[in-house]
Amino acid sequence: MNNHKQNENWNQYIGSIWREIFKEIQFPKKGKIIEIAPGYMNKIGVGLQQYGYKGTIYIIEPNKKSLDTITEKYNQLEFNNVISIQSTLDKAIPSLPECDAIVSNHPLDDIIIGKFLDKNSFDKLFDNHYESHIDITMTHWENLCADSKLLDKIKKETINDWNKIIEKVNPKIVLISQYESHFFQSNNLINPDIHAIEVLQQLRLNYSEQDYSKILVNNKFIEKYENWMIIKRK
């Protein structure tokens, strides 16, 4: 099986998991939602289409190549409106409207390393994300992790960005996944998963009174509910 077919199969599989979670939490089927850092694969979009979502989707993605690709895929899914914003999360926040939900699939490792890289290195990495040699990704993470103070600063900034967007757009639901990456694990690259999941865990603590992640404990589609954050707000 070629890489394209493998990626598409994985895309459909993760999309089906999102569909089941949408069903379980009674996710809205219309209104406005914001998706953060999808990359070029429309996993959440597949889940939304299967679930029957009709509404407006704001896509926040800093890499132009990924944004162009994901926008084309989302337009093919025939949602009511797709609004694409090329921006990092922190810079997009001031312009975003209030919405019904924020969704994001495996964003935190990319956000962390993205804050570390200059624009040229960022574009080189994410223009060919997962198609470039593993050594490039590994080198960036080794360099970041060698500076523990900078790494801690970036992780705190990442948490702060999420706090700010939740406060700004006032969503009723926030859904974030950050499962262990097969790509990272198969290449013995553990730091992205370790630090991204730590950020997710801290975010969950910040919203502990609104955290509904444990509803996934017995969900047959989910291996570790700890790799998800579900916030339901009034």
Residue whose token pair is 């199969």: 9
pLDDT, tens digit (0-9, with 9 covering 90-100), for 131-145: 556 888 999 999 999
- Segment 80-96 mean pLDDT: 96
Residue 4 confidence (pLDDT) above 70: no
**What integer pLDDT is reported at residue 99 of this predicted model?**
97
Question: Cα–Cα distance between 35 and 103 in angstroms, integer?
Answer: 5
pTM: 0.93
Amino acid 182: pLDDT: 80
Range of the domain at 56: 3-232
37-75 per-position pLDDT tens digit: 999 889 999 999 999 999 999 999 999 999 999 999 999
Rounded CA-CA distance 56/32 in Å is: 5
201 pLDDT more than 90: yes
Into how many domains does the chain fold? Answer: 1
Q: What are the pLDDT digits (tens) for 107-156?
A: 999 999 999 999 999 988 888 765 556 888 999 999 999 999 999 999 99
Residue 191: what pLDDT?
94
User: Is the pLDDT confidence value at 2 over 70?
Assistant: no
Of 63, 92, 98, 94, the closest CA to residue 169 belongs to 98
- pLDDT of 16 strictly over 80: yes
CATH of the domain at 114: 3.40.50.150
Q: How far apart are CA 72 and CA 110, in angstroms?
A: 21
